[in-house]
Structure 1
Amino acid sequence: MSHWRLLLTRPEGESRALACELASHGHYGSCLPMLVIEPLPPPVRPPGWLQGFAAVVVVSKPAAHLCLRGLEHQLATPGPRWFAVGAATAAVLEQHGLAVSFPRNGDDSEALWQLPSLAAVLAGPKPRVLIVRGQGGREWLGERLAERGAEVEYLELYRRGVPDYPASAVAERLQAERLNGAVVSSGQGLEHLHRLAGAAWPALAALPLFVPSARVAGLAQALGCRHPVNCRGASSAALIAALATQGP
């Protein structure tokens, strides 16, 4: 059986965890993060502020961790329905005792949008929905919610920085570790990879690129990737399932 040797581009902690899980399935992961999570100053909100929302949508694991840290005093009383874009984000919130709805068949805004529980929230009169995220992102979801009559607010808890690597870092990693594929978890991670790869981009674009959604697959194709593979989710389980369908 052939095994994958993959360039992992998620933030550092997530890449390390993914590399360990890949190793348990016989695959190799080389961690070269393309996103640096930089927390923003924690929000100061009056007591009861969170209870003014019908729903809170948390879009990523960093957003979940920082939300729990910054708004812990707001979580003790009953309040909004909680939603997460994917299972991994939901797990962070559930560990804090929150009941969370999330899509079982995807890890993106489109899958979340199909949840009957979210539709039920939007059926109320002028519901207020809080989207917890990093700076920018998930505009599609906010637009759809507004179209359905929701009053949308954003709580931005971090920014996604670009790591500082030597110009040759990606090329050296591809060659030295004989990598035969790459993984990105978001459109922004893909953009950073394209920028930082530099002259190595054509070689990288010729390899299979495992992406979380059809949207990111389209971005990859626009940048010249020949073999984007839609994992239909950003979880490690979705990646490992996709690897099993592809030959390195």
Structure 2
Amino acid sequence: MTGVLLLTRSEADNQRLAGKLDQLNVRTQGMPLLHIEPQLETPSQRQLLLNIDLYQAVIVVSPVAARLGLERLEDYWPQMPVGIDWFAVGRSTAEVLQTAGLTVQVPDQGQDSEAVLALPRWQALLQPGDLKVLIWRGTGGREHLAEQLRVQGAQVDYLELYRRCAAQDLPARLAEASAAGARGLLVLSVQALEYWRHAAAENWSEQAGWRCWVPSQRVAERAAELGCKDIIVCNGADDSAVIEAVMAHPLT
């Protein structure tokens, strides 16, 4: 019998991915490492949404940011504002925005900040020298994206829609999963990786030997620093990229 792959995203994302992997005979168990807590809207955030038509570009970094941002946007804009270029980090994020009727630019290859910034549309947007960009994100993260745009003369603001907390009872749940045959783990951010390491505690020497699938070289490097011994880098964080990597490097 093959080992169990722990899926560590939100419950909804885990269930969707588990259904696809189950069809490929991959044993999985859902275990979110992060709890997503929507942020209360502040007056300054409200103003960002009211003035969203003053921005030439909006970058959305995750499906959660897309869902929460669209919910708020509907409160102030019964019809979607026009004249904005929408960018998504990853196809799953793009799909949420497209469902709302938005035309979204997303890289064909790669699902990180560099891939988004490599999209040809930026050349025209940056040329006038007065570009205003709004990034929808959680608290912190994607600083590289903003830094690179600012270096090229853009004004960049953040709409922070949620914060990530460690899920409850992680140490006990990880120990139970290990006893039930967990031998691999999908971990899609440095923050989730840190929560896993902390929750593993005295069991880290064992769990560091699990195969872990990560979305980028940056997360892989941090995993190696923490002592992970079997790291697989996916070509992004969406379902198709994860499935491709899991099938190419199956648990035994």
Q: How many residues align?
A: 246
CA distance in 2 between counterparts of 1:147 and 1:14 reads 35
| 1:171 aligned residue (175, 179, 191) | 175
Q: Which runs of 4+ in 1 moved over 3 A?
A: none
How does 1:1-248 map onto structure 2 within 5 Å? 5-42=4-41, 43-45=45-47, 49-72=51-74, 73-74=76-77, 75-165=79-169, 167-176=171-180, 178-248=181-251
Change (3 A) 1:241 1:93: same
Please give the TM-score of this superposition, normalised by the length of structure 2.
0.92
* 5+ long unaligned stretches in structure 2: none
User: In the TM superposition, what whole-angstrom CA distance separates every residue of 1:23-69 from its partner, at most 9, and x where no partner exists?
Assistant: 11111111111111100123423885111001000000110001100
Assess if the C-alpha contact under 8 Å between 1:170 and 1:200 holds in 2.
no
Identical counterparts, % of pairs: 40
Question: Are the equivalent residues in 2 in contact too, given 1:52–1:128 (CA < 8 A)?
Answer: yes
Deviations 1:60-104 (A, max 9, x none): 011000110001233533131000001000000000000000111
Q: Is the 8 A contact 2:92 2:238 kept in 1?
A: yes
Q: TM-score by structure 1 length?
A: 0.94
Describe the SS at the equivalent of 1:185: coil
Calculate the aligned-residue CA RMSD, in Å. Answer: 1.7
| Structure 1, unpaired ranges of 5+ | none
Shift of 1:244: 2.1
> Could you tell me which amino acid in structure 2 is paired with residue 228 of structure 1?
I
Contact 1:18 1:29 (8 Å CA) reproduced: no
Checking the alignment, whether the CA contact within 8 Å between 1:63 and 1:132 is kept in structure 2 is yes
CA distance in 1, matches of 2:49, 2:146: 25
The letter of the residue matching 1:60 is S
Contact 2:132 2:154 in 1 (8 A): yes
Q: What's the CA shift string for 1:191-219, capped at 9, x where partnerless? A: 11111121222211112110000110001
